[in-house]
Amino acid sequence: MLKEKVSGLLNEQVNKEFYSAYLYLDMSDYYIEKGLNGFGNWFKVQAQEEMDHAMLFIQYLQNNGEKVTLSEIKAPDVDFTGHDIPLNESLKHEQFVTESIHNIYDEAFAIKDYRTIQFLDWFVKEQGEEEKNAEDLILKYKLFGSDPKGLYMLDTELAARVYAPPTLVLD
């Protein structure tokens, strides 16, 4: 059984992961409306990943005999006024999620909850990859986004992204 504070933080993380999916679906919709279907696809895949992350937190809570408490997911409130805004917002959001996971990790470490630490190790690594992906996409957009041919090629590249479920094994 998990300590109450860790269980509460893990439940909060479920909501944050589902909100991330909402946010990325909103970004996907923005790009599709603008005719950038590759960018839309990239963020749709991101949304799928975030939903799976939420499900992993839920499964971990259930595997540890904890009640899962689902809370309201607020609607995204970012105003996209340019093609670079969702990219920059996604990086800020990933940094927020990283900080949240680190906070859970810190709490688990403080009470020597090694099982939760082991579970969170995958997410710590994953967040490093998420931030790097967001930074790389911002860089590519800065390099190629102002040129119509470059933007077309980048959009085509992003259209090729496919969803791959996480390979985290829960016990």
pLDDT of the chain along its 171 residues, tens only?
789 999 999 999 999 999 999 999 999 999 999 999 999 999 999 999 999 999 999 999 999 999 999 999 999 998 999 999 999 999 999 999 999 999 999 999 999 999 999 999 999 999 999 999 999 999 999 999 999 999 999 999 999 999 988 876 666
The predicted model scores a pTM of 0.93
Written as one letter, the residue type at 69 is T
Spatial separation of the C-alpha atoms in residues 8 and 160, rounded to whole Å: 38
- Report yes or no on 152 lying in a domain: yes
What's the rounded Cα separation, in Å, for the pair 149 and 70? 45
Distance from chain centroid for Cα 7: 20
**Residue keyed to tokens 């944050």:** 16
Pair 144, 150: CB distance under 8 Å = yes
Domain encompassing residue 127: 4-68+80-159
Q: Look up the CATH number of the domain holding residue 21.
A: 1.20.1260.10
- In angstroms, the CA 73 to CA 7 distance is 19
Would 169 be classed as within a structural domain?
no
